[in-house]
Amino acid sequence: MDDCLILEETESTNSVAEGLARDGALHGFAVLAKKQTGGRGRLGRFWVSPGGLGLYCTIILRPNLELIDYPKLTLAAGVAVAEALAGLGVITDLKWPNDIFIAGRKCGGILVESSALEEESANNYALVGIGLNVNTTAVDFDKLSHQAISLRQACGGKIFNIDEIFSVIRKAILAEVCELERHGFARILDRWQRYDLLRGRRARWLRNDGVVVEGLAEGIDDQGQLLVRTDDGVIHPVISGDVNLVQHGSTK
């Protein structure tokens, strides 16, 4: 594959891809690692990336979109991953904005990072980093085993081919970017709703300023923001931050 860099081990495929994108790597070029030593998640979290057991990849995008629309790439990538996995017989849910869930436990996440978005530039890019627990078992998750799940665990011990999953996911993401460029966000949003884990359920949102807001999740608006209706009837559009389901007094 000459449009792909495959590494045995790296700190983070997003970091490698960032360097390549700055040096002019083309739309669709991907970095795939067998193992990451410093995999990054959203909000500064660590992404556990044991060798040979998961998918750790980053796809470089140079979408023909306004910079203001780049955040929609996270949701577009989520739909692409969910539909690609459905094609492999794995049914997932999407938790806004970037989590992939199976049976209430997290099996994957998407980290979209972009070049400085202050000004239009010929070298603008977005990096779509995807981490997926594929053949991992409870031992590999260690302390996270009650919250995390792999495709293997979800599918009765079946071992999946990680390279095949990478290929179908990359293809699906590139197709989704074309859809976004040609037809806008509306149809992607429609498809996203089918996988929406939060809609109609109580959610607790930790705002970036530390304030906790609790209410009913009412879906996603046409900008990709989550709508949370608090008990006073006010609808809060959530742009960023951490949102979790409220379940019998606890959160997920």
- Interface with ligand BTN includes 92 (CB under 6 A)? no
Maximum Cα–Cα distance for the chain, whole Å? 56
Candidate residues 111, 226, 227, 238; the one interacting with ligand BTN per rule CB under 6 A: 111
Applying the rule CB under 6 A, the residues between 119 and 158 that interact with ligand BTN are 129-131
Order of strands, sheet of 30-33, starting from the edge strand that comes earlier in the sequence = 4-7, 30-33, 54-61, 126-133, 105-114, 99-102, 93-95
Confirm or reject binding of residue 170 to ligand BTN (CB under 6 A).
no
Residue 109 touches ligand BTN, criterion: CB under 6 A:
yes
- 183 part of the interface to ligand BTN, by CB under 6 A: no
- Using CB under 6 A as the binding rule, whether residue 13 contacts ligand BTN is answered as yes
Taking CA atoms, 245 is separated from 45, 77, 90, 200, 213, in Å, by 19, 22, 22, 10, 12
Nearer to ligand BTN, 65 or 110 (CB): 110
> By Cβ distance, which residue is nearest to ligand BTN?
109
**Distances in Å between the alpha carbon of 181 and those of 17, 140, 176?**
22, 39, 9
**Could you give phi then psi for residue 127, rounded to 5 degrees?**
-110, 120
Task: Count other C-beta atoms under 10 Å from residue 171's C-beta.
Answer: 13
Q: Which of residues 27-46 bind ligand BTN (CB under 6 A)?
A: 36, 39-42, 45
Instruction: Note whether 51 binds ligand BTN by CB under 6 A.
Output: no
Candidates 81-89, 103-111, 174-182, 203-211: pick the segment binding ligand BTN (CB under 6 A). 103-111
Cis preceding-peptide flag for 97 (omega within 30 of 0) = yes
Closest CA to 125 of 113, 136, 109, 111: 113
Binding ligand BTN (rule: CB under 6 A), the pick from 5, 34, 58, 224 is 58
Question: What are the residues binding ligand BTN (CB under 6 A)?
Answer: 12-14, 36, 39-42, 45, 47, 56-58, 98-99, 109-111, 129-131
